[in-house]
Amino acid sequence: MPHVIVKLAAGRSEPEKFALAEEITRAVTETLGYGPDAVSVSIEDVAPKDWAEHVFTPDIIDKTDTLYKKPGYKLSDLQS
C-alpha cells in the first residue's frame, strides 16, 4: 500500500497537482504491480524561501540512505 509524499515548491495549480498525482499513481501501479486503489499521493506546498530548511536538509541531506534520486542542485545553489 504505497503512500507517496511530494514536497513541491508552492505555486502549482490544483489541476497540475491532480495530474502529477495521477502520473505517480500510474507509475506505482505499473512498476510495483499494485492496483490504483492501493496507492495514495499527497502533495505538500513549500515556500521557496523555506525549501532549504524544510526539505533540502531534513529530507535530502539527512536521509541519503533512503534517497533514490538525488537532485542536481546543492544547498549553496539555494542560498545564492
pLDDT digits 0-9 by tens, 9-20: 999 999 999 999
Tell me what pLDDT residue 75 has: 85
Tell me what pLDDT residue 78 has: 82
Classify domain 1-46 at the CATH superfamily level.
Macrophage Migration Inhibitory Factor (3.30.429.10)
User: What DSSP element (H or E) covers 5?
Assistant: strand 3-9
> Helical H runs in 1-80?
14-32, 51, 75-78
Q: Calculate mean pLDDT across residues 67-77.
A: 92
**Would you name the residues annotated as active-site residues?**
2
Is 71:35 a contact under the CB 8 Å cutoff? no
Mind listing the pLDDT tens digit for each residue in 20-56?
A: 999 999 999 999 999 999 999 999 999 999 999 999 9
Q: Where in the chain is the domain with CATH 3.30.429.10?
A: 1-46
pLDDT-derived band at 66 (thresholds 50, 70, 90) equals very high
User: What DSSP element (H or E) covers 41?
Assistant: strand 40-46
